[in-house]
Chains A and B, each alone.
Chain A
Amino acid sequence: MKASVASLYQSVEFHQEIPPLLIGERCNPNGSKAFKEALLAEDWDACLKVALDQEARGAQVLDLCVAYAGRDEVADMLQLTKLCAGSCKAPLMFDSTSPDTLELVLPLYPGRAIINSINLEDGGANLDRICRLAKKYGAAVVALTINVEGMALTCDKKLAVAKDIYDLAVNKHGLRPQDILFDLLTFTVGSGDETMRDAAIETLNAIKLVKQELPGVGFTLGISNISFGLRPAARKVLNSIFLHEAVEAGLNTAIVDAAKVLPYATISEEDRKICFDLLFNRHPEALMAFIDYFEQAVEQDDSESEESFSSEELLRQKILKGDKEGLDDLLTTLRGRWQPLDIINNLLVPAMREVGELFGRGDLLLPFVLQSAEAMKQSVVLLEPYMEKLADDGRTSVLLATVAGDVHDIGKNLVDIILSNNGYKVHNIGIKVSAEEIIAKAKELQVDVIGLSGLLVKSALLMKDNLSQFQAVGLTQPVLLGGAALTTKFVAVDCAPNYQQPVAYCADAFAGLKAIRDFETGKLLSTQWEESSVAKNRPGPQQEVLDRSFSPPVVPFVGRKLVTDIDAEKLFSYLNEAALFRGRWGYRRGKMSKEGYAELTINTVQPLFQRLKDQSLNEGWLQPKVTYGYFDCVSQGDSLLINSDSGEKVFSFPRQTNAPGLCIADYLRNAEEGGDKVGFFVVTLGHQLAEKTKQLYESDSYHDYLMLHGLGVELTDALAEYWHEKMRVEMGIQQVRGDMCAYVAQGYQGSRYGFGYPSCPDLGAHGSLFEMLQPEEIGVTLTESFEMVPEMSTSAIIVHHPQAKYFAV
């Protein structure tokens, strides 16, 4: 059995796939001033807040210590345990060496806690009592290597004490090895004390040795002890390096402030070397060198000593880091030396250009680019009052629109964000814009370039038509095209010939930025396309013979139903986190090391996820609703004939031209076989989320805008996944809740095909589908391009045949 602990809400394994498990240390009057003050004032909500803040920043277990001179430990512990048990998702670690206290709190905790801690300081009396409690209440224990002689300093002593404790806890009291987390203690290497020079080495070696000698046990360590006495900025680096080394040695949990751990990958080679010299006692002057080095290095990149930089350089750094704090003062200083417009053109725009280059090289991830853009925007807003109206004459101007019949806003808005924060003048005229309107605006505003955006294939076709109209009225601006359904080939072959000026395909906003720069230097050309030698595969199941012996499922009803009481929280367990983090959010690992990425995930991505999850649930941004149904059908050639209340409907599907020649209609029985049953659904997250994302965009919160949109996208898919499961269960082709990882790879019977995807490409089928399911009643409507509004909606046909899987035509 794996070692884990649990709260009321979740269980957490000691051995995380990406170690270490982080234990928050701040609910401790000696560890946090805020907590101490709250505790002394008996402000329990404020105490709880310290706990919740840690969770939000990545702590997976919360240490809770209330022992403080003059206070009643038992009463305080009971009070806070009750509060935390109900409100914290992270399991608790009771930090008390008093068996009396533990005896009272353990039975109260509705989960599996950790006791912190046991030791042999008193020869074993307390240890006996606490181990008995641990056994009785199923708790895990932290064991400190302390005995009657005191704290074990050397590797050998640590091992010896650990063995003694192990013997008592496991052999005498029957705890399982995996229930023990040894804290082999660590002491500062920063005091200059000669006897402590090897403190880090002793601890690291001891971890390796104990792991070998006492198989199965776990470890924990108060990481920050290693750097007591050093300067805060230097401690952060040293602690992070030490944590990294300890994990390599075998540490699986760590008591740290999650927010203060630097990703290993972000620490420079030079910083690492200086830390290693000190940790591994590589030369007698290592400590002095460390102190000297960080005296200077700190000035290079720590906010404490920003003074020593020129304000110009500081501004550049703030843009690169996407740091908005203190921009106001900084810009005030800079205005003393520069004209506002020069600050923009000579400082801010070049910094943003640098951001773009870093992104292009894969050295900066999209979410960070958006934070930089936010800092840029904020700077411009702060400068604006001091400028005569921004001189537009010199700046290249761009008109942006999403084409008619299409409500897709975000692609175009991201382009707006990137272009306008690189100094261009952008006229963003919105969604569902007709060709006539675009032409009128282009003339009125005398823009230099036109950019069109759209989500669906239908929108791509409209762009092509728009170009003919632009040509007919004699527009002269080059046109940039972007959106999910476009390809280089389509733009080059189908669109560009319709218009005499350059027509360029832009795969993303940065391609748009490059196109504008090319335009300025007279280098912008229409997109070219050459027949490439490699045709792309059309993957799909390779079986030759389709089993025709299956019978139709038993459906609970025929016709359609509405479901409006879905618990939004439920969707999160169907969420495809990899697609969200790496795809929608752009937190790709790319060139990062495994650890670097793990640290990014723990320190940045998970806390962000938690924050948005909590916000969207608490503020009611998610309103999942479903309309679905089961219908009698017969398959006929490449079509499916459906009998519904609103009359007979025909859905036609394409057939693969190459073997095995699949077509969705084949998966259902024809008239001779007695017909079949087929399912459909339209699911939506509701309008609220679109409202909220719009607000974020309008308030220049670019980063959160993209993140919340991305979360919405994946939650829409999660809702589809959830409802598809529900329907399989209703049809009796699946018994219970399955495994999300398997679902990603269609690990279930049958398949669901979305209209508009390759094996069922006709979005026009939404016309019939909407008559059958009437999604208008859950607030979903269609545009003239058959796009569903709100955007966070999705539709599908559900087929039960065991051989039915995705395939491309």
Chain B
Amino acid sequence: MRYICTCCGYVYDPEKGDSMNKIPEGVEFDDLPESWVCPLCYAECDKFDLLD
């Protein structure tokens, strides 16, 4: 499921992963490591909102 950063609008899509944080494809938002932050504005996970 995709999640959106409420601070900057960045969308975390598990199908794409997040290369800026070295996250490979296929990792669900809930399984992101605790150290993960928004790759664009560095907001933490609790600032994210479910998109679909």
Known: A542-B20, A744-B10, A808-B42. A582 touches B36 (CB 8 A): no
Question: Cβ of B49 and Cβ of A589 under 8 Å apart?
Answer: yes
Asked whether any CB of chain B lies closer than 8 Å to the CB of A394, the reply is: no
How long is the Cα–Cα vector from A144 to B36 in the complex, in angstroms?
54
Pick the most buried of A534, A582, A808: most chain B CB atoms within 10 A of its CB: A582
Question: Cβ of B52 and Cβ of A594 under 8 Å apart?
Answer: yes
Asked whether any CB of chain B lies closer than 8 Å to the CB of A579, the reply is: yes
Contact of A744 among B8, B35, B47 (CB under 8 A): B8
Task: Please report whether the interface of chain A is mostly helix, strand, loop or mixed according to DSSP.
Answer: loop
List B contacts of A535 (CB < 8 A).
Answer: 35
List B contacts of A582 (CB < 8 A).
Answer: 4, 6, 49
List A contacts of B8 (CB < 8 A).
Answer: 576, 579, 583, 744
- A/B pair count, beta carbons within 8 Å: 69
Which A-B residue pairs are the 5 nearest by beta carbons?
A583-B6, A539-B20, A539-B39, A582-B6, A579-B9
Asked whether any CB of chain B lies closer than 8 Å to the CB of A737, the reply is: no
Please, could you name 8 A-B residue pairs with CB atoms under 8 Å apart, sorted by A?
Answer: A541-B20, A542-B22, A576-B9, A578-B9, A579-B6, A583-B6, A746-B40, A805-B20
Question: Cβ of A588 and Cβ of B10 under 8 Å apart?
Answer: no
Question: Cβ of B40 and Cβ of A578 under 8 Å apart?
Answer: no
**7 additional A-B residue pairs with CB within 8 Å, beyond A579-B6, A805-B20:** A534-B33, A540-B39, A583-B6, A583-B9, A744-B10, A744-B40, A806-B20
Contact of A537 among B11, B19, B21 (CB under 8 A): B21
Question: Cβ of B6 and Cβ of A542 under 8 Å apart?
Answer: no
List A contacts of B38 (CB < 8 A).
Answer: 539
List B contacts of A576 (CB < 8 A).
Answer: 8-9
Known: A542-B19, A589-B49. A537 touches B37 (CB 8 A): yes
Question: Cβ of A745 and Cβ of B40 under 8 Å apart?
Answer: yes
Interface residues of A in 714-763 (CB under 8 A from B): 744-746, 758
Q: How many B residues touch A, CB cutoff 8 Å?
A: 27
List B contacts of A539 (CB < 8 A).
Answer: 18, 20-21, 37-39, 42
Asked whether any CB of chain B lies closer than 8 Å to the CB of A389, the reply is: no
Asked whether any CB of chain B lies closer than 8 Å to the CB of A536, the reply is: yes
Question: Cβ of B6 and Cβ of A588 under 8 Å apart?
Answer: yes
In the complex, per-residue mask of A577-609: 1 if CB is within 8 Å of any chain B CB, else 0: 011001100001110001000000000000000
Interface residues of A (CB under 8 A from B): 534-537, 539-542, 576, 578-579, 582-583, 588-590, 594, 744-746, 758, 805-808
List B contacts of A537 (CB < 8 A).
Answer: 21, 35-37
A291 to B: closest C-beta gap in Å: 38
How long is the Cα–Cα vector from A579 to B33 in the complex, in angstroms?
24
How long is the Cα–Cα vector from A535 to B44 in the complex, in angstroms?
12
B49 to A: closest C-beta gap in Å: 5
Question: Cβ of B20 and Cβ of A744 under 8 Å apart?
Answer: no
List A contacts of B7 (CB < 8 A).
Answer: 579, 583
How long is the Cα–Cα vector from A537 to B19 in the complex, in angstroms?
12
How long is the Cα–Cα vector from A578 to B38 in the complex, in angstroms?
15
How long is the Cα–Cα vector from A539 to B38 in the complex, in angstroms?
8
How long is the Cα–Cα vector from A249 to B42 in the complex, in angstroms?
41
Asked whether any CB of chain A lies closer than 8 Å to the CB of B34, the reply is: yes
List B contacts of A746 (CB < 8 A).
Answer: 40
List A contacts of B35 (CB < 8 A).
Answer: 534-537
B44 to A: closest C-beta gap in Å: 7
List A contacts of B33 (CB < 8 A).
Answer: 534
Interface residues of B in 1-52 (CB under 8 A from A): 4-11, 18-22, 33-40, 42, 44, 47, 49-50, 52
How long is the Cα–Cα vector from A274 to B34 in the complex, in angstroms?
45
How long is the Cα–Cα vector from A746 to B9 in the complex, in angstroms?
11
Pick the most buried of B4, B11, B38, B52: most chain A CB atoms within 10 A of its CB: B4
Question: Cβ of A588 and Cβ of B49 under 8 Å apart?
Answer: yes
Closest residue of A by beta carbon distance from B34: A534
A707 to B: closest C-beta gap in Å: 15
How long is the Cα–Cα vector from A539 to B22 in the complex, in angstroms?
8
How long is the Cα–Cα vector from A576 to B41 in the complex, in angstroms?
14
List A contacts of B42 (CB < 8 A).
Answer: 536, 539, 758, 808
List B contacts of A806 (CB < 8 A).
Answer: 20, 39-40
Pick the most buried of B11, B19, B33, B39: most chain A CB atoms within 10 A of its CB: B39
List A contacts of B6 (CB < 8 A).
Answer: 578-579, 582-583, 588
Closest residue of A by beta carbon distance from B47: A583
A319 to B: closest C-beta gap in Å: 27
How long is the Cα–Cα vector from A576 to B10 in the complex, in angstroms?
10
How long is the Cα–Cα vector from A594 to B4 in the complex, in angstroms?
14
How long is the Cα–Cα vector from A758 to B38 in the complex, in angstroms?
13
Closest residue of A by beta carbon distance from B4: A578
